[in-house]
Structure 1
Amino acid sequence: MYSKQEAALIKKEFWTAFATVYPRKWLLYDTKIKDVTFKFYIDNKKAQVLLDIEPKEEEKRKIYFEKIESLKSILLEEYLPEAIFERNFYLENGKVISRIWIEKLEVSLNNKNNWGEIFAFFNATMAQFELFFYEYEEYIKDLETNT
């Protein structure tokens, strides 16, 4: 078990190493859709690439999720066959969001031997997620176009 300071240092070292190996600007929070963000996540059991849909207005969250869900077969067949869709995903704080994600199990932030595998997973998965998003961005953003 690591102290909070040691854990923070490992996390900082991890992200610095990732940025060194894959020095590019990721889309992440710059989707141009308020409260629709791409994220990387890592802990001691898994790595995930996430698309979180979390507008405060329930109706907007529903519309954005349904738009992406309407493209599900394309996302699964052409980009990310292991993507998981969850309309109502409950965060630890109880907040409900919609989430689409891909995960790699049995890897750990604390095991530096896993880092190369995690970095490759993050890079390949986020790149595919971004390609999908850029291809269908106008449709996803347009709240006037129904699914």
Structure 2
Amino acid sequence: MYSKDQASAIKQAFWTAFGQYMALQPSSEGLKVNWINYKTGVKHLFFKMQADQRTASVSIEISHPDPGVRELMFEQFREYKNILQSSLNEDWDWAAETQTEQYKTISRISTQLSGHSIFKQEDWPALIRFFKVRIMALDEFWSTAQYGFELFK
């Protein structure tokens, strides 16, 4: 078991390594992008990557405080589902309503990788591959789909 400071340092080292690995990778539009803190340009809409001692996940999270607007944004993603799946080349889990660890209601479209730990450096290559492929696929999707979300800006 790691202390809070040790766990934080390991996570920071992983995300720094991932950021350095991805730094030279341009977006689908050829632009420089901060892959770790991917900006969708739409308030309350995030592409997130997370890893802990058992799993890693990539998700699209809609956290708009107004349930009606959150539902409209989620429905807009449903309209783009075929394009999204075409970019991702896999099915993701769709949850119109789910709770965060802080008990906040959000909508989430996600996938996860089990059996890999951010605390095992030998798992880092698999985690980096998992994140790279999916965040780049989300970027490819977003380069086309973002215009359908203009009204939510």
TM-score when normalising by structure 1: 0.89
Alignment of 1:110-129 (within 5 A): 110-129=119-138
What residue number does 2:111 align with? Answer: 102
State whether residues 46 and 105 of structure 1, in contact with CA within 8 Å, keep that contact through their aligned partners in structure 2. yes
Q: C-alpha offsets along residues 52-98 of structure 1, whole Å, 9 cap, x if unaligned? A: 10111111101100000122133224424131111001112211100
TM-fit CA distance, 1:26 = 2.3
Q: Which segments of 5 or more consecutive residues in structure 1 lack a partner in the other structure?
A: none
State whether residues 80 and 125 of structure 1, in contact with CA within 8 Å, keep that contact through their aligned partners in structure 2. no
Correspondence for 1:57 among 36, 57, 66: 66
Q: Give the residue type in structure 1 aligned to 2:106.
A: I
Aligned residues: 143
Correspondence for 2:102 among 93, 114, 136: 93
TM-fit CA distance, 1:104 = 1.1
State whether residues 97 and 108 of structure 2, in contact with CA within 8 Å, keep that contact through their aligned partners in structure 1. yes
What residue number does 1:132 align with? Answer: 141
What residue number does 1:142 align with? Answer: 151
State whether residues 80 and 129 of structure 1, in contact with CA within 8 Å, keep that contact through their aligned partners in structure 2. no
What residue number does 2:93 align with? Answer: 84
State whether residues 40 and 46 of structure 2, in contact with CA within 8 Å, keep that contact through their aligned partners in structure 1. yes
Residues 13, 28 of structure 1: alpha-carbon distance in 2 compared, 3 angstrom cutoff: closer
Name the CA distance, whole Å, in 2 between partners of 1:18 and 1:47: 13
What residue number does 1:39 align with? Answer: 48
TM-score when normalising by structure 2: 0.86
Q: Which segments of 5 or more consecutive residues in structure 2 lack a partner in the other structure?
A: 24-32
Runs of 4+ displaced beyond 6 Å: none
Give the superposed CA RMSD: 1.6
TM-fit CA distance, 1:141 = 2.6
Bigger mean CA offset, 75-84 vs 44-53? 75-84
State whether residues 43 and 108 of structure 1, in contact with CA within 8 Å, keep that contact through their aligned partners in structure 2. yes
TM-fit CA distance, 1:29 = 4.9
What residue number does 2:5 align with? Answer: 5
What residue number does 2:16 align with? Answer: 16
Q: Give the residue type in structure 1 aligned to 2:17.
A: A
Name the CA distance, whole Å, in 1 between partners of 2:56 and 2:6: 20
